[in-house]
Amino acid sequence: MKRFFLLIVMALVLFACGEDRGALLKVYNWGDYIDESILPEFEQWYEEQTGEKVSVIYQTFDVNETALSKIEKGHEDFDLVCPSDYIIERMLAKDLLLPIDRDFGETPNYIDENISPYIKKNFRLIEGNGKDANDYAVGYMWGTTGILYNGKYVTDQEASTWGILKNEKFAGKLFVKDAARDMYCVMLIHLRAKEIADSLISRRSLMYYDPSGKNIADVEEYFKGVKNNIAGWEADFGKEQMVQERGYVNLSWSGDAVWAIEEAAEVGVDLRYSVPEEGSTVWFDGWVIPKYAQNVKAAKYFINFLCRPDITVRNVDVIGYVSASKAPEVLEANIDDSYDPINLTYFFGPEADSVRANPVMYPDSTVIARCDMEHDWGEHTEELISMWSRIKGDNASYTTVIVIAIVALILVSLILKRLFGKRGGRKHGARRR
């Protein structure tokens, strides 16, 4: 609310004073996805580096498609946006992005110095009509899709496969991330596990649209078959359900898992995270500059600033996700002797062949070897969304139930007010990420 008020005030001031748009940097990012204390620090640093003043206007979104829609329509003149890999793919295909210049004068180029080769390799797999995504996007955060589970009720073996959805032992205690693309891809990997093992198909090939329709049909049939075991389709509340032991299994993202595991430990709940043996998906978020951006210079400097090792470490510490940076300072900050050694050479280089770090945040090389990046379906995306809607059907999510309950209470309150002339009120609660 405070930031919203400040944005309104700033907008009014700019309107009244006619301030140059070049003195503003408009950033569009996921909610809770940056340490906002670094924003005024960037403004000071930018002036020190360039001799120019800039004010950051920071706004957030919660769905990739929302960001894409605004960039496509051009109704918002953002200078910098942070979409996910498959959306970057679509933006490139639609020619919506500018290449990111690496010339920073006397200022060090932290981007090329610190972004991990693993991130750059995967960005080269982003398809953009012959364009190298590394020229148009800079990696920010990344992670995996896996299974968050309660070690008190679920064995490591049970959580080693996506087939856990079939286990009636966990009926009513199982939550699934309400993310059509992610859940489709991991379940398809599960259903095609034998063909993958026999080298008849590859996981990578399953990430693309199947014109035959068989893959969609098989995934839909599978989810409908296990639907009675699923307690809810969750967008954000699943990790909290797990911490409170209202759920024993949650198909989730590694970033959510890190938060849940830490929170659960404080109350004596043993939560764990697994990337199933069949394989999974790995996702990447990156910074891009829209074609209509009005402050390209400040935008590229902002990306460079975020790649500065000390800023990266602080940022990761606040938001809990894993940075695309391979800087030695980042590796050092993540060493924790409470974990067994793992091989992180794919990310940090040869010196990281035996590192004690959190395997949820930094999976071992053997885990990464069975993960692939999702791809955009373009005009066929609606088929994916429709399938997911059919799967969920009348099995209302936890969020939906709450909304219905609130609406019902409001209606009752209005009826009572009309009948008895009494005033009613509502309590508002904060949603914690």
Separation of alpha carbons 300 and 104, rounded Å? 9
Per-residue confidence (pLDDT) for residue 16, from 0 to 100: 36
Position of tokens 């904060």? 430
Encode pLDDT of 172-190 as tens digits: 999 999 999 999 999 999 9
Distances in Å between the Cα of 356 and the Cα atoms of 98, 322, 340, 346, 361 are 39, 16, 6, 15, 12
- Please state which of the ranges 57-61, 64-68, 205-209, 269-273 shows the lowest mean pLDDT: 64-68
- Please state which of the ranges 13-27, 87-101, 176-190, 340-354 shows the lowest mean pLDDT: 13-27
Distance from chain centroid for Cα 45: 28
Mean pLDDT of 66-73: 91
Q: What is the DSSP letter of 425?
A: -
Say how many C-beta atoms besides its own lie within 10 A of residue 134's C-beta. 21
Please tell me the pTM assigned to this model.
0.85
Mean pLDDT of the chain: 89
Separation of alpha carbons 30 and 321, rounded Å? 12
Mean pLDDT of 76-88: 95
Q: Confirm if 16 and 260 have CB atoms less than 8 A apart.
A: no
- Please state which of the ranges 20-24, 77-81, 86-90 shows the lowest mean pLDDT: 20-24
Say how many C-beta atoms besides its own lie within 10 A of residue 268's C-beta. 7
pLDDT band, residue 10 (cuts 50/70/90): very low
Burial class (CB in 10 A: 0-12, 13-18, 19+), 5: exposed
- Please state which of the ranges 16-20, 159-163, 208-212, 363-367 shows the lowest mean pLDDT: 16-20
Written as six digits, the tokens of 412 are: 């009752």
25, pLDDT greater than 60: yes
Per-residue confidence (pLDDT) for residue 129, from 0 to 100: 86
Written as six digits, the tokens of 402 are: 């709450």
pLDDT band, residue 9 (cuts 50/70/90): very low
Separation of alpha carbons 109 and 102, rounded Å? 7
Strand blocks (E) in 314-373 = 322-323, 341-342, 355-356, 371-372
Encode pLDDT of 11-22 as tens digits: 443 443 445 777
Per-residue confidence (pLDDT) for residue 19, from 0 to 100: 56
Encode pLDDT of 309-335 as tens digits: 999 999 999 998 999 999 999 999 999
Mean pLDDT of 147-165: 98
Mean pLDDT of 222-236: 96
State the Rg of the chain over Cα.
Answer: 23
Written as six digits, the tokens of 142 are: 């990344």
Q: Confirm if 274 and 365 have CB atoms less than 8 A apart.
A: no
Per-residue confidence (pLDDT) for residue 425, from 0 to 100: 28
Burial class (CB in 10 A: 0-12, 13-18, 19+), 88: buried
399, pLDDT greater than 90: no
Mean pLDDT of 19-28: 87
Encode pLDDT of 359-397 as tens digits: 999 999 999 999 999 999 999 999 999 999 999 994 444
Q: Which residue has the higher pLDDT, 9 or 345?
A: 345
23, pLDDT greater than 70: yes
Written as six digits, the tokens of 126 are: 């982003």
251, pLDDT greater than 90: yes
Burial class (CB in 10 A: 0-12, 13-18, 19+), 67: buried
Per-residue confidence (pLDDT) for residue 431, from 0 to 100: 23
Separation of alpha carbons 157 and 351, rounded Å? 32
Per-residue confidence (pLDDT) for residue 408, from 0 to 100: 44
Mean pLDDT of 400-416: 43
In DSSP terms, 288 is beta-bridged to 81, 137
142, pLDDT greater than 60: yes
Q: Confirm if 163 and 348 have CB atoms less than 8 A apart.
A: no
> CA 289, 291, 294, 299: dihedral to nearest 10 degrees?
10
Among 337, 377, 335, smallest CA distance to 352 is for: 335
